[in-house]
Amino acid sequence: MEGSAARPRTRIQTEKREAILEAALDVFSAHGYRGSTIDQIAAAAGMSKPNLLYYFRRKDDIYKALIQRLLDTWLAPLRELDDDGDPITELRSYIRRKLEMARDFPRESRLFANEILQGAPRILPMLEGELKSLVDEKVLVMKGWIRAGKIARTDPWHLIFAIWATTQHYADFDAQVRAVLGPDRGGDGRFEDAARFLEGLFIEGLRPKR
Amino acid sequence: MEGSAARPRTRIQTEKREAILEAALDVFSAHGYRGSTIDQIAAAAGMSKPNLLYYFRRKDDIYKALIQRLLDTWLAPLRELDDDGDPITELRSYIRRKLEMARDFPRESRLFANEILQGAPRILPMLEGELKSLVDEKVLVMKGWIRAGKIARTDPWHLIFAIWATTQHYADFDAQVRAVLGPDRGGDGRFEDAARFLEGLFIEGLRPKR
DNA sequence: CTAACCTTTGTCCATTCGGTCAAAAATGCG
DNA sequence: CGCATTTTTGACCGAATGGACAAAGGTTAG
């Protein structure tokens, strides 16, 4: 359903399209869709604007291709949540994986955050489709864990939201995190600190033992 | 430091400036700074563009005035965190207040989110100044609670981040929350569910009792 | 080598956008 | 009322932006 004929993709096309998407990730994640210009992306990709438009005919096409390509990567951590593993361990691992994503792929995180902030105008179908299905599936897994008494009785949907929120916060709100922590605590160690904290929070909560 | 002479503010000026800021909150929070146009704001405020520019001479002036006016409101919940109260109760209340803000002032939440996502170019000084001071102060309060054994040994900075992240998530990522919950669970009850969930999470964690 | 195809570029265009300006309309005050 | 001040508007401008296009420059297969 993308043009009437198949696309034969030459070597150059593959390479250039890749370079454009990489540049577009940089630009879109930093300035949002409306805040980014084709010229910026072209410059970042090391080519002229008309040349870029030869590979993607519209600005919107770049954006869509980018999001399409990223969605799988983005959902991978949740997909790995294993029904058969030990529940507490599985959740711990999921939180760790998500936090690593925030650390290693902040541009991807910000791209999605930007899109959703504006009401997800271009990806709402994906959220209601792929994403919802995946979440529904994992919610069932968690409900099983609750029934088995392996984790506390809690709301699986909101648990997933809480994990998303707390981990992605370190990518999306990085500027604020750094500003508040200051130069000393805001260095590279902040992800270690966050990992330790989140583990304690999600597993044990704040009430003091004894 | 804003013009050499004081501004006498007539009645009409007060009213119109108010209307403009209200309209600007609507527009800026929905589309971000670059994504919003003066025409949109003027239309939303029910006046012509040149007329709007009579009250705020630049687009940036509107934005700055808006943020300035909102910052106090935004930080109020944290300010209320009371050193002398019962720690668990205080934290519970803080979470509830923040969640109410996400429910009742989603535009304000999205405005700040948008700004910080782009690296907080226009409000970084405020984050490093007012916000950091307030956080530093409350961190000391929490450290006192920890020393007194009233809450678990945890990282107060990241605790604050976690509360911000989980509560604001329901405003900033509303589109995603609704998409994932679907029409039935995504209705008005979602804030009640979130409140119950977050209380359980922060206080008790996920490990099952017994 | 050469013809067919792919890639790149300079130029151009219409629209949008932030902002100006002078003149008209409304308001308020003595 | 009459005059000064404030408010509103229509017309306009330059810069930026998304995109079109045809011509020029490369690449590759026969």
Mutation target for A interface from B158, B196, B199, B209: give the one with most A CBs within 10 A: B158
CB contact A76 to B (< 8 Å): no
Task: Answer whether B143's CB lies under 8 Å from B155's CB.
Answer: no
Task: Answer whether B61's CB lies under 8 Å from A147's CB.
Answer: no
Residue of A nearest to B110 (CA): A117
Q: What are the φ/ψ torsions at residue A120 (nearest 5 degrees)?
A: 55, 45
**Nucleotide nearest residue B52, measured CA to C1':** D8
- Cβ pair B201:A33 closer than 8 A: no
Q: pLDDT band for position A12 (50/70/90)?
A: confident
Task: Answer whether B177's CB lies under 8 Å from B190's CB.
Answer: yes
Task: Answer whether B10's CB lies under 8 Å from B55's CB.
Answer: no
pLDDT higher at B11 or A139: A139
Q: pLDDT band for position A8 (50/70/90)?
A: low
* Distance of A51 CA from D25 C1′ (whole Å): 13
Whole-angstrom distance, CA of residue A118 vs CA of residue B187: 20
Question: If you average pLDDT over every residue of chain B, what do you get?
Answer: 93
Q: pLDDT band for position A3 (50/70/90)?
A: very low
Whole-angstrom distance, CA of residue B89 vs CA of residue A92: 27
Task: Give yes or no for residue A4 having a pLDDT over 80.
Answer: no
Task: Give yes or no for residue B119 having a pLDDT over 60.
Answer: yes
Residues with Cβ within 8 Å of residue A181, at least 6 apart in sequence: A190, B157
User: Tokens 């500003």 map to which residue?
Assistant: A179
How far the first Cα of chain B sits from its last, in Å, is 62
**CA-based nearest distance B9→chain A, Å:** 34
Average pLDDT over residues B108-134: 96
C-alpha A157 chain-centroid distance: 18
- Supply the DSSP symbol for A56: S
**Which residue in the set B135, B176, B193 is minimally distant from A127, CB to CB?**
B176
Q: 25-44 in A: which are within 8 Å (CB) of B?
A: 30-35
CB contact A16 to B (< 8 Å): no
**Which residue in the set B124, B128, B162 is minimally distant from A201, CB to CB?**
B162
Average pLDDT over residues B161-186: 97
Task: Give yes or no for residue A2 having a pLDDT over 70.
Answer: no
Task: Answer whether B112's CB lies under 8 Å from B74's CB.
Answer: yes
- pLDDT for res B3: 37
Task: Answer whether B201's CB lies under 8 Å from A205's CB.
Answer: yes
Whole-angstrom distance, CA of residue A200 vs CA of residue B110: 29
Whole-angstrom distance, CA of residue B61 vs CA of residue A188: 36
Average pLDDT over residues B125-133: 96
* Distance of B115 CA from C27 C1′ (whole Å): 39
Q: pLDDT band for position B6 (50/70/90)?
A: very low
- pLDDT digit string (tens) for A43-55? 999 999 999 999 9
Q: 112-141 in A: which are within 8 Å (CB) of B?
A: 113-114, 116-120, 124, 127-128, 131-132, 135
Whole-angstrom distance, CA of residue A167 vs CA of residue A126: 21
This model of the complex carries an ipTM of 0.92
Question: What are the distances in angstroms from CA B5 to CA A113, B2, B59, B66?
Answer: 42, 8, 22, 22
CB contact A159 to B (< 8 Å): yes
Domains annotated on chain B, with CATH: 9-57 (1.10.10.60), 67-204 (1.10.357.10)
- pLDDT digit string (tens) for A137-192? 999 999 999 999 999 999 999 999 999 999 999 999 999 999 999 999 988 899 99
Q: How many residues does chain B have?
A: 210
| Helix ranges, chain B (H) | 11-35, 38-44, 49-55, 59-79, 87-104, 106-117, 124-126, 132-147, 156-172, 174-185, 190-204
Q: 94-113 in B: which are within 8 Å (CB) of A?
A: 110, 113
- pLDDT for res B186: 85
CB contact B88 to A (< 8 Å): yes
Whole-angstrom distance, CA of residue B19 vs CA of residue B49: 14
Average pLDDT over residues A188-207: 94
CB contact A192 to B (< 8 Å): no
- pLDDT digit string (tens) for B70-96? 999 999 999 999 999 999 999 999 999
Residues with Cβ within 8 Å of residue B69, at least 6 apart in sequence: B21
Q: pLDDT band for position B8 (50/70/90)?
A: low
- pLDDT digit string (tens) for A39-89? 999 999 999 999 999 999 999 999 999 999 999 999 999 999 999 999 999
Q: What are the φ/ψ torsions at residue B112 (nearest 5 degrees)?
A: -65, -40
